[in-house]
Amino acid sequence: MLLKSRPAHSLVGALFKAQRNVRLLSASTKPRVLLLDPINLAHEELESLKSEASLIPLTSTDRASFINDLKSDYKDITAIYRHFKGTGSINITGRFDEELISQLPSSLRFISHNGAGYDQITVEPCTARNIQVSNVPSVVDDPTADTALFLMLGSLRQFNVALAQAQAGSFHRGLPLSSDPQGKLLGILGMGGIGRALAKRARALGMTVQYHNRNQLSEDLEQGAKYVTRDELLSTSDVVSLNLPLNAATKHTISTPEFKSMKPSAVLINTARGPVVDEKALITALESGEIAGAGLDVYENEPQIPAELLRHPRAICLPHIGTLSYETQKEMEAFCLRNIRTGLSTGKLSTFVPEQKGRW
């Protein structure tokens, strides 16, 4: 008996359907990565990740819908990418606190956080659930130190006061004399990568550097900086630069007692995190003359900046732009995406936040 041959168009259709099913099966077996914030610059690394994972965009509109979507649209995700910026996904998800972390899918293994500071994530419950957390520990060192240097020079030389006079049409009439950096003593609270990068820049200006950490650095990392107690640093420094992480122990680490112990001629620089400074106490210290000035890139309740600071002639206020350069943002994105790829291929991120070092 002769078998009827299938029409050519039927064979083509069957082949197309089979290929589509293969593609769907391949996509379904890829690990799923939730992108809470867009990748704007690291296009090459994004394409590489696309070849290895299914990328899921954030579609939730608020924290409640996000938690609900974790059980449906975002179920079975293996990794999360997020950005620290105050105008980003945090306005939808809120902080990654214990409540939110308890709702994350059991499949989640990695959170790649785009930022040096990671106070938006409570690490302990992540560790308890076997979720690895990474930040961007070194890419930000130089650009943040550059920002601190700008704020330090501006505060010492009172460039903002001079600029305001120029804009008002007054060509330095009655402008008070400012201070040069040369010969001044810079005190760094938190001598990590950013602190050391700032110390290098300060030495080039002829400044002397002292610092305080929980532990003294090795001589090669100190690079001539003097290790002192916290009290000595605050009472003797001409410039106090804050370069320490935000956590329960460092919140409001600079408040009324600290300002009272500082020299009346000293200036405070903060490029760390806003809440390490008690802003109300800072405003009082500026208005009373307890300190000579402040250079700030971070604030307690970002994106809000207190009006008292914005209008104070001896406060320089930047809107958290320390790492907002093209080169830095691109590398920060690329770093995070490479870290996710490493985690997906090896089961272990290439870097962890300090609290998780040695865990995996």
Say if residue 36 is in the same domain as residue 47. Answer: yes
pLDDT tens profile 188-224: 999 999 999 999 999 999 999 999 999 999 999 999 9
Of the residues 109, 113, 196, 273, only one is catalytic, namely 273
| 63: annotated active-site residue | no
Are 228 and 128 found together in one domain?
A: no
What does the pLDDT look like over 268-303, one tens digit per residue? 999 999 999 999 999 999 999 999 999 999 999 998
Residue-level pLDDT at 98 = 97
Let me know if 9 is a catalytic residue. no
The answer on 123 and 47 residing in a single domain is yes
Catalytic pick among 302, 314, 338, 355:
302
Active site residue 98: no
* Domain with 200 in it: 141-317
Lowest mean pLDDT among 60-74, 171-185, 221-235, 258-272: 171-185
Q: Which of 320, 331, 333, 341 is catalytic?
A: 320
Residues 132 and 205 occupy one common structural domain: no
**Residue 7: inside a domain, yes or no?**
no
Residue 131 and residue 152 share a domain: no
Domain-embedded: residue 3: no
| Structural domain contains residue 270 | yes
Q: How many domains does the chain have?
A: 2
Same-domain check for residues 64 and 159: no
- Say whether both 156 and 253 belong to one domain: yes
The whole-number average pLDDT for the span 154-164 is 95
pTM, entire model: 0.86
Task: Give the CATH number for residue 312.
Answer: 3.40.50.720
- In a shared domain, residues 149 and 176: yes
**Taking residues 326-341, what's their average pLDDT?**
98
If asked whether residues 154 and 202 sit together in one domain, one would say yes
* Percent of the chain's residues with pLDDT above 90: 87
Query: Is the same domain home to 153 and 294?
Result: yes
Structure confidence by residue, pLDDT tens digits, 8-63: 555 545 555 555 554 444 455 899 999 999 999 999 999 999 999 999 999 999 99
Q: Domain for residue 2, yes or no?
A: no
10 occurs within a structural domain:
no
- Judge whether 323 lies within some domain: no
Same domain, 197 and 266: yes
**Residue 18 is assigned to a structural domain of this protein:** no
Residues 191 and 172 placed together within one structural domain of the fold: yes
> What does the alpha-carbon distance between residue 227 and residue 218 come to, in Å, rounded to a whole number?
10
Task: Report yes or no on 17 lying in a domain.
Answer: no
Tens-digit pLDDT profile for residues 233-275: 999 999 999 999 999 999 999 999 999 999 999 999 999 999 9
